[in-house]
Amino acid sequence: MKSFVPYIALLLASPALADWSLKSPNDTREIQVRQTASGGLEYRMLLESERQQEVLHWSKLGPVIQGFKLSQNPLEPETSNFSSTIKFLKAATTEGKDTYTLATGKQKRQLTAYRGMTLSFSDVETGMALDLELRAYNDGLAFRYVLPDESDRHYQMIHEHTAFNVGEGANFWGQPYDFTTAFHPSYETAWLQLPSGSRAPKSLGVGWGFPSLFEKEGAWLLLHEAGVDGTFHGSHLQAEAPHGNYQIAPPSAGTALGHGLNIPASTLPWQMPWRLAIIGDALPEIVESNLVTHLAAPSRIANTDWIEPGVASWSWLSDHDSSRNLDALKKFIDTAAELGWRYSLIDANWNTIADDAMEQLVDYAKRKNVRLMFWYNSGGRHNFIPEQPRNRIHTREKRRVEFAQLKALGVAGIKVDFFQSDKQDIIRLYQDILEDAAEFELLVNFHGSTIPRGWRRTWPNLVSMEAVRGAEFYTFQKETDYDDEAPRQNSILPFARNVIGPMDYTPGFFSEPLAGRRTTSAHEAALLVLFETGVQHIGDSAESLRSLPAAYRDYLRQLPSAWDETRLLAGYPGEHAVIARRFGERWYIAGINGEAREKTLQLNVSQLDGLTDNALMLYDKAQDPFAARELQMNSTESLTITMAANGGVVLRF
């Protein structure tokens, strides 16, 4: 529902003022745009809380677009630089409401309102048109570039001037953007906390990844992008951010083994990705936001009844060789059946067992009422990793043959691994896999992958993405010291990476990994609710899961993986996090302690409608690694919890 309304603010031309301004429906968030003396554009973002605060200072805008004059021989490039010497043409405003349902996520039913503005310009020299589209929601602001002309010729964006001027003096939580290696970039570096403007450490990466989280004078800001499709690449931020001014960066040229350009190209019209900021004066406004899916394209799947969220057993983390062993895989199928889980994941090299390994496993799982997902290598020419099966889904012809076989057998879905690039060609491959998988009613889990950018709305069969330093790093202990860093990393992820979409961390490691671990069993149990994903793959061994006490097994047996409501009750990145999630009429509260000291927290639970007066509680207790009891609530207003050092707590009401 859209209508034009006369709230555009065209202010007097002044170097200190905006030329155009757009506010959110509740007037608390504002994006301003002005034209500079050189004829370019810049913007800033404001938060109106107890006072007006500039969360982003004036920041540069503008793509540089290159085409070719067909009248010239040889072809001569024609460049439109929208960062300078552009002419304003007109402005138009909209407002609307958007209602949709997600198959999986932190909140299934979505209802949001927004205001929009389109500012139209042209390049003074070439006459090429550019629209700057603005959106203002009650939880954040966004903008994107659109080239509205029509042409069947391809144009390239050879440079982008977009910046995010956070300024100095802010706290910054960022993830270094990987070097190019056989397995990277894959968004698996450790999250760091540094002052804003800090350079990405040269030993850790070549830039800063999205999302990026900032705390600035009591306000919170999470930067990201959404609406990325096959006409563009995935972006990140440059390593250098002088004075806290973060510049946009394209993918590294050497990724995908050098195949494909690291600049995007498209015919016209061309809608580029939304660049967004989730903004709040408290962390719940960041964690509970669904702005990333609001800005994504609507669902392309008419009937989503076949898309079932659920829990999966997974053999690879506890036994890397298990996926080459039929008996080992059957053991994990048995575990899923015993715990009432919907799925079991069959990982890499399953096809080396026998020519009919898939048929044998599917037949066995059907008798146990368990559905299977099978691993595939995404390569192709863009990686040389030998894990099997490969060269089956990198082209549409091969992919559709494979998917037709999977559907005929009754396979539930696929896990696709080793993409290692954000180039446009690889982004298009993601989209093509999702589209074909949807036609054959297959769920999709991407690993070795890029980060979520709202695709779960467009393609609801996308149930999870890795792009996280997850539990598998316990098995890479010699390189990472992951056991020491896991508690702190776990307590950053709910405020950053998991805000933007599903996260296949593969939690629930109750047994002692070879590396050892610093987290408690209650901490591990809490991760299963704290970390949101459409299919929750539990990484522990079959033996460990079978030997858990009754209370833990009952908790695992009834564990949801898609939620009707999510509320952040307490937390601070790197210190602790407590989240409440509702499934139907049942509330779960999960908390983890990211620090090596005991903590007692008093939680406001009055916002949790329908909270009952008793709960199953999994908690930390000396001499009892799997402590559990029934908790009788004395109040529906407040709840006091205590977590051990690196510990946790779960309450199921």
Q: For residue 3, what pLDDT is reported?
A: 36
At 477 the pLDDT is 64
**Residue 193, beta-bridge partner list:** 173
Q: State the sign of the Cα–Cα–Cα–Cα dihedral 168, 169, 173, 179.
A: positive
Say which DSSP state 282 is in.
S
Task: Residue count of the chain, please give it.
Answer: 653
As given in the structure block, the two tokens for residue 193 are: 């906390």
pLDDT average, residue stretch 81-99: 97
Residue 434: the pLDDT is 98
Mean pLDDT confidence for 313-325: 97
Tokens 């559709």 -> residue: 400
5 has a pLDDT exceeding 70: no
* Residue 179: half-sphere exposure toward Cβ, Cα within 13 Å: 7
Compute CA distances 556 → 265, 335, 465, whole Å. 47, 11, 22
* pLDDT, mean of residues 208-212: 98
By CB neighbour count within 10 A (0-12 exposed, 13-18 middle, 19+ buried), where does 319 fall? middle
Answer whether residue 91 shows pLDDT above 70: yes
The pLDDT assigned to 85 comes to 87
Q: What is the pLDDT of residue 365?
A: 98
Helix (H, G, I), strand (E, B) or coil at 352: helix
* Mean pLDDT computed over 371-396: 97
> If you average pLDDT over residues 545-560, what whole number do you get?
98
* Position 316 pLDDT exceeds 90: yes
Question: Residues with Cβ < 8 Å from 333, sequence gap 6 or more?
Answer: 313, 344, 361, 364, 365, 368, 370, 372
pLDDT value at residue 636 = 87
Q: What is the pLDDT of residues 172-206, one digit of tens each?
A: 999 999 999 999 999 999 999 999 999 999 999 99
Both tokens of residue 302?
């008419």
Other CB atoms closer than 10 Å to residue 92's CB: what's the count?
Answer: 13
Q: Could you tell me the end-to-end alpha-carbon distance of the chain, in angstroms, rounded to an integer?
A: 38
What pLDDT is stored for residue 16 in this prediction?
A: 54
**pLDDT class for 6, splitting at 50, 70, 90?**
very low
Predicted local distance difference test score (pLDDT) of residue 211 = 98
Residue 507 has pLDDT above 90, yes or no: yes
**What is the CB neighbour count within 10 angstroms for residue 325?**
15
Mean pLDDT of the chain: 95
pLDDT computed for residue 13 by the predictor: 35
Q: Which of 473, 515, 514, 511 is nearest to 490 (CA)?
A: 473
Residue 46 — pLDDT band, cuts 50, 70, 90?
Answer: very high
Q: Tell me the pLDDT band of 600, cut-offs 50, 70 and 90.
A: very high
pLDDT at residue 479 in the model: 67
* H or E element that contains 291: helix 291-294
Share of the chain above pLDDT 90, in %: 92
Which residue do the tokens 């304003």 mark? 88
Position 645 pLDDT exceeds 70: yes
Residue 209 reports pLDDT greater than 80: yes
Residue 73 neighbours by CB under 8 Å, 6+ apart = none
- The string of pLDDT tens digits covering residues 440-457 is 999 999 999 999 999 999
Contacts of 479 (CB under 8 A, 6+ apart): none
Per the DSSP assignment, residues forming a β-bridge with 163 are 247
Overall pTM surpassing 0.85 (yes/no):
yes
Distance CA(205)–CA(374), nearest Å, equals 32
Q: Is the pLDDT of residue 354 over 60?
A: yes
Contact in structure between 650 and 527 (CB atoms under 8 Å)? no
Task: For residue range 474-490, list pLDDT tens digits in order.
Answer: 988 666 789 999 999 99
Give the ranges where 410-441 is alpha helix by DSSP (H).
Answer: 424-439
8 — phi, psi (to 5°)? -65, 140
Neighbours of 408 (CB within 10 A): 9
pLDDT category of residue 8 using cuts at 50, 70 and 90? very low
Residue 7 has pLDDT above 90, yes or no: no
- Give residue-wise pLDDT tens across range 120-178: 999 999 999 999 999 999 999 999 999 999 999 999 999 999 999 999 999 999 999 99
